[in-house]
Amino acid sequence: MYEKIWITLKQKGTVRLAVPKPLHRRVIKAVLKEKDMDKGFKLEMLDKKVRLRITYEQQDHVITLKLNRSYTYLTSVCASDI
């Protein structure tokens, strides 16, 4: 159900959702979980030394999710090590 949101976020970088206010927390948590479960994408970003972070803004009944990519110089683990 939330996988489509994660795929769109991964491709476009930003997603705006109209969600009833009581469900905001659930939707945000579910999208974060989808990001964590996407092992292939995680490994791809690990090879490129890119750190992924989802930020969000809540305004009335709208949630804006943004996928922030920042370069890191962590050299401890790479996908080739696994």
Percent of the chain with pLDDT over 90: 67
DSSP string for 54-82: EEEEEETTEEEEEEEEEE----S--GGG-
In angstroms, the CA 75 to CA 64 distance is 32
Say if residues 14 and 67 touch (Cβ distance below 8 Å): yes
What tokens does 75 get? 């050299």
Q: State mean pLDDT over 24-45.
A: 92
User: Which residues make Cβ contacts (< 8 Å) with residue 22, sequence separation at least 6?
Assistant: none
pLDDT of residue 77: 58
* pTM, 2 dp: 0.81
Q: State mean pLDDT over 65-82.
A: 72
- Given a cut of 60, whether residue 75 has pLDDT beyond it is no
